[in-house]
Amino acid sequence: MTSTRIGADIIAADHERRGAALKTDYQALGEKLARSGIDIESVTAKVAAFFVAVPSWGVGTGGTRFARFPGEGEPRGIFDKLDDCAVIQELTRATPAVSLHIPWDKADPKLLTEKAESLGLTFDAMNSNTFSDATDQAHSYKFGSLSHTQAAVRAQAVEHNLECIALGKAIGSKALTVWIGDGSNFPGQSHFTRSFERYLAAMAEIYKALPDDWRLFSEHKMYEPAFYSTVVQDWGTNYLIANTLGEKAFCLVDLGHHAPNTNIEMIVARLIQFGKLGGFHFNDSKYGDDDLDAGAIEPYRLFLVFNELVDAEHRGVEAFHPAHMIDQSHNVTDPIESLMASANEIRRAYAQALLVDRAALSGFQEENDALMASETLKRAYRTDVEPILAEARRRAGGAIDPLASYRASGYRARMAAERPKVQGGGGGIV
């Protein structure tokens, strides 16, 4: 039986307190949607079946190169992290899977599986790390990993990825996400072509070890930690990787990894068209890879991404099942709160995209009626779908108001008492 971190009483109190208003709002929205020929129940059902994975590292406090300001009751290891992830799932019912990051989350697979099962959680994609040095590793990644000039370093990085696959197999994961920091800080430092050839060769080795029912996700990023060039710098290069490796290789799109002003939803459409969209790392950003909470800065952009996903579903694109994962850095908020809010924002964008009148839109597109096409999207977008999201949560046993319920639960204070404060903070790396 699944243990609970929050407690049925908290959920019950939430339902008791907010149920009536929700009922009213849900009914009013249902009537309004019905006038447009939309059945609210079918939307609610789809929303309830939509999930997004939570990253294990997301429940810890993030930081910048300048400082990290730890919060209260931070998780001390993967088992604490799973507890925190369970809280998010209990309250939102939108995040049943957790994505691990190795080596930080390395543990006995049996213990991991037992713990996850006890919490009603499963494991999503595995994430390898070759962008920083583990304490005991033989070779440094200072000058790259999978694309390093030295064969021994590349071999070590490949080996690490194989280890991730092995652990993943043991705990039921079905995908490996590879993001590397390889690149250069100076013109001339790296030979672009040779670096990429080495990267492709190393990835081919990893790909060979991939189980048949797994997918390999490569992730592009414009810059940071490398500040002049990055080996997998954009979706063009990412596509070339997936295309070179084979049919189990796909491109992962992190919303914060693009050049300023980039039309990301169009990249999503292109990758869908060419059969290479693997999935997402959701977050939001204003400047660079800010890793802010999904929907916090440009919610319409998030909607437009989901508009492409729903459109692809609508068109019946074959073998279309992108992975959804949050990837954020929570520097000034309680990470559990940010992840709950983000999971809701992601579902919100999905719900709004489901409301788009696709027949009408298609007509406006054919007729080049730009204004009405835009209005068609905007009308769906400006619908306040919170009652749908709340009702989906409520029916699944989650909270109508996850944030308020979480605060009412006193979970963070309990953890602050249980878990000793994590050392450290300011780095002063300027």
Residues 87-126 that bind its own copies (CB under 8 A): 101, 104
Rounded Cα gap, residues 196 and 232, in angstroms: 8
DSSP string over 77-101:
SHHHHHHHHHHHHHHHSS--EEEEE
Structure tokens at 287: 């400047």
- Binding part of the chain for its own copies, among 21-29, 106-114, 170-178, 210-218 by CB under 8 A, reads 21-29
Structure tokens at 107: 């543990």
Rounded Cα gap, residues 100 and 175, in angstroms: 11
- Of 95, 123, 115, nearest to 398 by C-alpha is 95
- Of 284, 281, 280, nearest to 296 by C-alpha is 284
Q: Which of residues 173-202 bind its own copies (CB under 8 A)?
A: 181, 184-194, 196-197
Q: What angle do CA 375, 377, 371 make, to 5 degrees?
A: 30
Q: Which residues contact 208 (CB under 8 A, 6 or more apart)?
A: none
Among 13, 204, 240, 408, binds its own copies (CB under 8 A): 240
What track of x and - describes contact with its own copies for positions 365 through 404 (by CB under 8 A)?
A: xxxx-xxxxxxxxx--xxxx-x----------------x-
Among 235, 250, 280, 350, binds its own copies (CB under 8 A): 235
Q: Does 12 bind its own copies (CB under 8 A)?
A: no
Rounded Cα gap, residues 48 and 52, in angstroms: 11
Among 239, 250, 282, 306, binds its own copies (CB under 8 A): 239
Q: Does 363 bind its own copies (CB under 8 A)?
A: no
Q: Closer to its own copies at the Cβ: 9 or 31? A: 31
Q: Does 161 bind its own copies (CB under 8 A)?
A: no
Query: DSSP character for 319?
Result: T
Among 2, 77, 149, 320, binds its own copies (CB under 8 A): 149
The SS3 call for residue 340 is helix
Torsion angle of C-alpha atoms 35, 39, 40, 45, degrees rounded to 10: -170
Q: Closer to its own copies at the Cβ: 330 or 394? A: 330
Do 326 and 281 meet the contact criterion of CB atoms below 8 Å apart?
yes
Do 338 and 291 meet the contact criterion of CB atoms below 8 Å apart?
no
Q: Does 69 bind its own copies (CB under 8 A)?
A: yes
- C-beta of 413: minimal distance to its own copies in Å? 15
Q: Does 320 bind its own copies (CB under 8 A)?
A: no
- C-beta of 179: minimal distance to its own copies in Å? 9
Rounded Cα gap, residues 117 and 58, in angstroms: 20
Question: Can you tell me which residue has the tokens 């796909």?
Answer: 250
Phi, psi of 109 (to 5 degrees): -60, -35
Q: Closer to its own copies at the Cβ: 144 or 278? A: 144
Q: Does 266 bind its own copies (CB under 8 A)?
A: yes
Q: Does 35 bind its own copies (CB under 8 A)?
A: yes
Among 308, 324, 347, 391, binds its own copies (CB under 8 A): 308
Q: Does 24 bind its own copies (CB under 8 A)?
A: yes
- Binding part of the chain for its own copies, among 88-96, 117-125, 132-140, 411-419 by CB under 8 A, reads 132-140
Q: Closer to its own copies at the Cβ: 90 or 334? A: 334
Number of residues that bind its own copies (CB under 8 A): 129
Among 95, 161, 285, 405, binds its own copies (CB under 8 A): 285
Q: Which of residues 321-350 bind its own copies (CB under 8 A)?
A: 327, 329, 331-334, 337-338, 341, 348
Among 9, 12, 19, 227, binds its own copies (CB under 8 A): 227
> 253: which strand partners?
280
Q: Does 138 bind its own copies (CB under 8 A)?
A: no
Structure tokens at 152: 């021994």
Q: Closer to its own copies at the Cβ: 210 or 402? A: 402
Among 364, 388, 399, 402, binds its own copies (CB under 8 A): 364
Query: DSSP character for 400?
Result: S
Q: Does 218 bind its own copies (CB under 8 A)?
A: no
Q: Closer to its own copies at the Cβ: 2 or 24? A: 24
Q: Does 136 bind its own copies (CB under 8 A)?
A: no
Among 237, 275, 419, 422, binds its own copies (CB under 8 A): 237
- C-beta of 202: minimal distance to its own copies in Å? 16
Rounded Cα gap, residues 342 and 336, in angstroms: 10
Phi, psi of 274 (to 5 degrees): -100, 15
Rounded Cα gap, residues 109 and 100, in angstroms: 12
- C-beta of 211: minimal distance to its own copies in Å? 26
| Cα distances (Å, whole numbers) of residue 160 to 98, 163, 368, 406 | 20, 5, 52, 37
